[in-house]
Amino acid sequence: MDELDRKIINVLQDGFPLVEEPYSEVALQLGINESDLLSRLAMLLKDKTLTRFGPMYDAEKLGGAFSLVAIKVPEKEFDKVTEIVNSYDEVAHNYHRDHEFNMWYVLATETPKKIAEINSDIERRSGLKVFNMPKLDEYYIGLKLTA
């Protein structure tokens, strides 16, 4: 990652213009052309410097739901349960933790009802108790990671 890549990441974290040609506007702000910006973004995604680039939607404002979920998974079954959990498109993140509750995942669904349906299905398929921990309050912290 060079200095221009860092500038691109830093500028894009401050917002994306809602105009007819947003990439052109960002490129102008950076002093480069649009095709250079697009090719650099593609490379940052390809080499996994960035894991994603796109909008963040508030699922709850669109009628959906989020929930954090934990499972106590016997280590010898971890890969099998990971495969089950990750088979759902609604699983946004799935983490292995060094803790009694060693699998944590986030569900993002189109409806609140779907959270319970997926967790119930995961319980049935894995044979393990799923601990759903829905969000009670939300705090905006304005996270920005300067590159």
Residue with tokens 């803790």, as numbered in its chain: 99
CA 12 to CA 26: how far, in whole Å? 8
Side chain identity at 86, as an amino acid letter?
N
CA 31 to CA 37: how far, in whole Å? 10
99 as an active site residue: the answer is: no
Give burial (CB, 10 Å; 0-12/13-18/19+) of 130: buried
Choice among 6, 72, 80, 93 that is catalytic: 93
By annotation, the residues acting in catalysis are: 93
